[in-house]
Amino acid sequence: MSPYRLLFDNVLTRLDAETAHRLGFAALRASPALPLFRAPSQPTQAMGLTFPGRLGLAAGFDKNAEGIDSLAALGFSFVEVGTVTGEPQPGNPRPRLFRLPADSAVVNRMGFNNDGAEVVAQRLSARRSGRHRDVIVGVNIGKTKVVPESEAVADYEKSTGLLAPHADYLVVNVSSPNTPGLRDLQAVDRLGPLLQAVRRRADSVTGDHLPLLVKIAPDLADKDVLAVADLALELGLDGIVATNTTVSREGLRSSASDVERAGPGGLSGDPVRARALEVITLLRERVGPDLTLVGVGGIGDATDARERLKAGATLLQAYTGFIYGGPGWPSRVQMELVP
């Protein structure tokens, strides 16, 4: 067993999951200049960008763009920050992050806790103007909780206007289960106008074509997955991120008491793997070979990563696998993916 796993099992699991995350992330940010790990290069072209490798960090870990360079030092080829909302918000009451070790899974109901688009934009601007690592940075945007659904488009437009100038690509998140009504925006009759508005705003503030993607839930029915795929092609989106967390609790190995203790929220990690793989397969068959598909959900090792690539993913993202695998996990997976 690795030293990190010993630490995780015997120390970190004794701490509240959010406290452990905060302490671990603070320690990582304290030494951003250290070349902690070096992942081998396997350049991949996607969305007009050159990614040094296939594996990136999913949104949710670095919500406020505070540790991009430290995370890149671990071997991630790209880092997606957020989810960022138009207005700052504290998120849901704690405790709101839980581990299910028997399933290599995490349950979160964080509720898009973040500093807001204006502060995050300032932080991204300051990073770019100073010394920083050459890593691709995506920005994931979502709806502010207190904003009514009737004003959701304007809220996304606000975030886009502030953040697009500092992003290498932008992801519209309509798939978190922790903001009431958010998943309703995945319906294509509502999603289409939202994505068109974000595209217009991004183009106007950047003066260029900024790659735009949408992130969808694994809980969509197959026909709705295909409807999003058709919409992405119709609107000329640059990609789809598949998938977010699930509200399902089927087939878990964890005890009923542990699952009940974790409560509601989005489940990530190994239990999402099978459905996330199905969604990528469905999407690739529908959209053809060119649209960028970012495979995320239940990637725990290089075998999972290769399986997702074989199913049609262009790029990969991870979160929970990183939590359970530790700081050496990104570079180890990247190394095993190189032919």
Judging by DSSP bridges, how do beta strands 55-57 and 44-46 pair with one another? unpaired
Q: How many residues does the chain have?
A: 339
CB-based contacts of 35, cutoff 8 Å, min separation 6: 73
Positions marked active-site = 176
Q: How far apart are CA 202 and CA 218, in angstroms?
A: 27
Q: How far apart are CA 128 and CA 131, in angstroms?
A: 7
Cα–Cα distances in angstroms (integers) from residue 272 to residues 18, 159, 244, 296, 310, in the given order: 21, 29, 9, 9, 17
Would you tell me how many other CB atoms lie within 10 Å of the CB of residue 259?
19
Name residue 171's beta-bridge partners. 140, 213
85 phi and psi angles, rounded to 5 deg: -110, 165
Q: Are 337 and 55 in contact (CB under 8 A)?
A: yes
Helix intervals (H) in 81-180: 117-129, 152-163
Residue spans of beta strands (DSSP E) within 130-210: 136-142, 169-173
Q: Is the peptide bond before 95 cis (omega within 30 degrees of 0)?
A: yes
49-74 in b/e burial notation, b at 16+ Cβ within 10 A? bebbbbbbbbbbbbbbbbbbbbbbbb
Q: Are 116 and 85 in contact (CB under 8 A)?
A: yes
